[in-house]
Structures are given as C-alpha cells and as structure tokens.
Structure 1
C-alpha cells in the first residue's frame, strides 16, 4: 500500500474541521495527523512546517511566535490558529 504524503489539501481539511479554532502547536498538529493515519517523521517535519507557513501566507491560518523557552516543549516556534473571517492583514507591500 502506497503511503500518502501530507499535502495542503489535508491540512485545509483539518482547518475546515475546526481543529485550528483554538491555537495548536506543532506537536498537537502532528498528533492530529497521526490519528488521521498520516505519520510525520523527523524528516517530514520541515515539509509540514512549510505547508503551515504557506497556509499562513494564503491567510487560511495565522501564527503567533512562542517564547523561546517553550520551543522544545511545543515542537516548534509557533502556535497556529484558523484565520478568522474579517481579520485584516496589516502587512504592507514595500
């Protein structure tokens, strides 16, 4: 049986299912994907982080940087939340 790779559509399905309605760290995201049958090993963590960053850029997710003291415990630097309808992006194009 061929392994399915984690892709953006899988993460969007998780977003639409309400998982990101409250903030989730990388460990919680990996655990959720594991319950769905997608195993994320050490080599795949960077790919998952790239997908999450891409979804932040597409304004489907937003992220908040954690204090450095929490990085090891949470599995990464950020907490990810679903982007709320009506939130404005304050970035400027320079």
Structure 2
C-alpha cells in the first residue's frame, strides 16, 4: 500500500550508516502524513489496524504473536478470524486517485 502511493518503504538503519531496513507496521500506522497518503479511508484503516495489530490498548495481535506472548489458549478461532478479516479489509483498499 505504501509503495502504491509512492511513499518510501525503507528507512535508514539506526546503527549502520548507509544501510536501509524495511519500515514496519508502526512506522506506517503512527505516521499521520503516511496515513493521510492512503486516501480518504486512510485514517479509519489505520485505526482499525492499530486496534487489531499494534496498539497495546487493543488486541495488539502483532506484538502478542510475533514476540511469543500469546498463551496456547489465546491462539484461537477469534484471533485467526481477526487476521483473516484484516486481510480482506486490506485487499479491498484501492489506491486513491492522483496518488
């Protein structure tokens, strides 16, 4: 999505001069200019993705799953359905006109 609207998908690596790393979900969702570049639904999409994946006040599935913080019983149909739903929401996103 970020690439489709012409925004950079990498950032300088903090510790290695001249080396770039991919931006992460937080770099996208918590950057108001980048969110705005996603079009009229950008802010709503960002809020939705923050709640599901990136905000500690929400489900925070990205952090919980990626860092192994989920207990066995937390990896359930509900969590999987949120991931599937978010993939469908992202798939429906369209590049804004003029981007």
Relative contact order: is structure 1 or structure 2 higher (C-alpha 8 Å, sep ≥ 6)?
A: 1
Q: TM-score, normalised by structure 1?
A: 0.28
Q: Which has the higher strand share?
A: 1
Q: TM-score, normalised by structure 2?
A: 0.27
